[in-house]
Chains A and B, each alone.
Chain A
């Protein structure tokens, strides 16, 4: 792929989303925020190979801290983003010290446990977080002092889009850097990387903290734009869905994370609108279909198809 096609495609996608949902910009904005969140998970899961089902912990921490920061300290959007990012990074660092020592099932279970603890704390500290009612009353100052957050959500959409673009560009550079290559190496074989002298534990912790930072930014975005933080940000369902989006699109591919998110959110939107009760049937079947028939994700489809047409081996190899 030519190097400029991808970025232009993404910008076109962003403009397209804006015009596709003129009456439902809130939904388009949610897609963009989910893209940021799923990108953070892709870094941890797809590049560093850290199996986590608790990425929502950092997302929720970012959302609550950004919300509280706006209410009590300063309502500037960018300052709020930094607050959210710091919260995500701090939580990832503290929990990562323990989590990165473990692998496999224990790691997965512990990541869920961290998110559960956060959920429980947010639920109990009702005076500060609003408990089950959610954190309300977030009023943001205009972006850069110029653009007011409007009722329809136009400013909010472009604000989220701008932040998502910066995050994407940052990750593009990061995964091509020596650090990104070290992560790939650790994913492929931690033993080999340790043998050639890479500090595996610290690289993994670093990746976890970076992923936590970006998840915190995504959380801050949702708090600022929807002006509400609910306990759902810590819910298991969110972390699980984000993981499904990463694998649906194609693990360890930044464009895959974007494609996976957009497709998943769109399917969710239509299926849940038609029949909210049977949504779990759709998602369950979708997940199994991806695992069995498209293990490298949607992004690998062109390659798989062309290989199939040429009569070579199937796409799984």
Chain B
């Protein structure tokens, strides 16, 4: 019983982190049709900034979090304007190549700036404690991450389903040309969506630093993981990304607990099998 609960709590927390990081990737892929391998880089930039503002400069947790996310968005938006906008029209391979190049530049920059060691991110005191549920104790960090993930999906739902911005964004995803012809400024939508995705990635990167440690090679190490979430969820589907992230989070945690030696292999084999049956992901449009 204890093991099952551990798997579920850790898996849910892990899944929420994956969701926060990968959802921006899913939206940009669905929206701009760009294969963005550099997306994990934004999670790393968020973590690196949190390392600089937190442990290095001694700011409190909340200011650190806000500054790091704002900093990541401030880097991502001009990048979208200058670089990404030019590759939207390219072929798939050119996009892959350009974003790999960008990933390498991000790694090299962080490596040059902060070195290749682990970049610690401090969590506030409250989250380092354990919560007593009466029959069991759980780390507060996991619970906070799960609640945060639920808040993010709820927030995204409100944003996309209940606001004018969401309406325009969905229109642009469905058909850019028609949306543009109706007077929607799709360039602006793209930039905001991109910034939002990068900001969420930064949030996920910082909150998930305990599970996915931040260092210069972060974007390459976890690239496949984020891509898997998007591919399994179905491109452009936020609900799909959420379900995929939770499912994969629990699956990976379960394999780590149950077959630690072979967890990576079992995990990948299961993912490949799933995608063999549903090549477009669980929520993908056929």
**Residue A254 at the B interface, CB < 8 A?**
no
In the bound complex, how far is the Cα of B86 from the Cα of A240, in angstroms?
22
Q: Nearest residue in B to A241 (C-beta to C-beta)?
A: B100
Docked pose: A292 CA to B101 CA in angstroms: 11
Contact B108 A281 (CB under 8 A): yes
Chain B 177-193, CB within 8 Å of chain A: the 1/0 string? Answer: 00000000000000000
Q: Does A244 make an interface contact (CB < 8 A)?
A: yes
Residue on B with the closest CB to A106? Answer: B231
CA distance A85 to B178 in the complex (A): 51
List the A side residues contacting B92 at CB < 8 Å. Answer: 51, 104
Q: Per-residue 0/1 for B108-141: is the Cβ within 8 Å of any A Cβ (1 yes, 0 no)?
A: 1101100000000000000000000000000000
Q: Name the residue of chain A whose CB is nearest to the CB of B220.
A: A236
A-facing residues in B244-267 (Cβ within 8 Å)? 261-262, 264-265
The answer, yes or no, to whether B158 is at the interface (CB within 8 Å) is no
Q: Does B276 contact A (CB under 8 A)?
A: yes
Q: How far is the CB of A238 from chain B (nearest CB, A)?
A: 13
Q: A112 contacts B227, CB within 8 Å? A: yes
Size bracket of the B interface:
35 or more
Q: How many A-B residue pairs have CB under 8 A?
A: 121
When C-beta atoms are compared, the residue in chain B nearest to A103 turns out to be: B279
Query: Which of A31-39, A149-157, A282-290 forms contacts with chain B?
Result: A282-290
Residues of B whose CB lies within 8 Å of any CB of A are 29, 35, 83, 86-87, 90, 92-94, 96-98, 100-105, 107-109, 111-112, 220, 223-224, 227-228, 230-231, 235, 261-262, 264-265, 268-269, 271-272, 275-276, 279-281
**Beyond the given A112-B227, A288-B98, could you list 17 further A-B residue pairs with CB under 8 A, ordered by the A residue number?**
A98-B275, A101-B276, A106-B231, A106-B280, A109-B230, A113-B268, A113-B272, A114-B268, A124-B261, A236-B220, A244-B97, A251-B93, A277-B112, A281-B108, A290-B97, A291-B98, A291-B101
Q: List 25 A-B contacts (CB under 8 A).
A: A51-B92, A98-B272, A98-B275, A101-B279, A106-B280, A108-B227, A109-B228, A110-B275, A113-B268, A113-B271, A116-B268, A117-B264, A124-B261, A236-B220, A243-B93, A243-B97, A243-B100, A247-B93, A247-B94, A247-B97, A283-B104, A285-B105, A286-B101, A287-B100, A288-B83
* CB-based closest 7 A-B pairs: A287-B101, A284-B104, A284-B105, A280-B108, A109-B227, A98-B276, A281-B108
Residues of chain A at the chain B interface (Cβ within 8 Å): 45, 51, 53, 98, 101-106, 108-110, 112-114, 116-117, 120-121, 124, 236-237, 240, 243-244, 247, 251, 277-278, 280-281, 283-288, 290-292, 295
